[in-house]
Amino acid sequence: MKHWLLPHPILTPILALIWVLLVNSLSPGAILMGVVLGWAIPLFTLRFWPDEVRVRKPLTLIRFLVVLLYDILIANLAVAWLILRGPRHVHPAFVVVPLELTTDIGISFLANTISLTPGTVSSWLSPDRRSLVVQGLDVKDPHALVETIKRRYEAPLLEVFESC
């Protein structure tokens, strides 16, 4: 049930935080303005938010984000090393990852995660939303890559956004 008092419980604190960061001050005025904006913007853009976003297990989400941060660092070192070694050492390949996630937020989270981590970029979502095509920079074993993506990233996201 959407309420005019708190139209979008997740967007409001995010907008308030962005406002405070933008103004670059922690004065009460800035915080108040941020909260007002965080309340008013979701209220007026309510019709653009068709699905309610529900985070079911915030702890799993936080653990996932920590794993993600670590993986981003490793991914960057790996990609930098591959680039320095030169084009002759890369084995690019496309792999198809079958999806179990069904919600918009889950799929976009997974696609962004894949793009930020080891040598892979999500490139194409099939129109029926059942599979995601992923391009890898240095793929030795496509099956292992699909396994890793499903176990390491999709499983926690399934728990956070879609377990009932």
Looking at beta carbons only, is 45 or 112 nearer to another protein? 112
* 118 Cβ neighbours under 8 A, 6+ residues apart: 71, 74, 75, 78, 79
Q: How far is the CB of 135 from another protein (least distance, A)?
A: 5
Residue 86 backbone zone (phi > 0: left; psi -120 to 50: alpha; other: beta)? left
**Interface with another protein (CB under 8 A):** 18, 21-26, 72-73, 75-76, 79-80, 82-84, 86-87, 90, 92-94, 96, 111-116, 119, 121-124, 126-127, 131, 133, 135, 137
Q: Which DSSP letter does residue 57 get?
A: -
Q: How far is the CB of 164 from another protein (least distance, A)?
A: 28
**C-alpha 8, offset from chain centre:** 19
Q: How far is the CB of 4 from another protein (least distance, A)?
A: 28
- For residue 134, give the H/E element and its range: strand 131-136
Q: How far is the CB of 70 from another protein (least distance, A)?
A: 13
Structure tokens at 137: 């920079």
Looking at beta carbons only, is 45 or 131 nearer to another protein? 131
Looking at beta carbons only, is 9 or 92 nearer to another protein? 92
Q: Where are the alpha helices (DSSP H) in the chain?
A: 11-23, 28-44, 58-85, 104-116, 142-148, 155-162
Looking at beta carbons only, is 6 or 73 nearer to another protein? 73
Looking at beta carbons only, is 87 or 164 nearer to another protein? 87
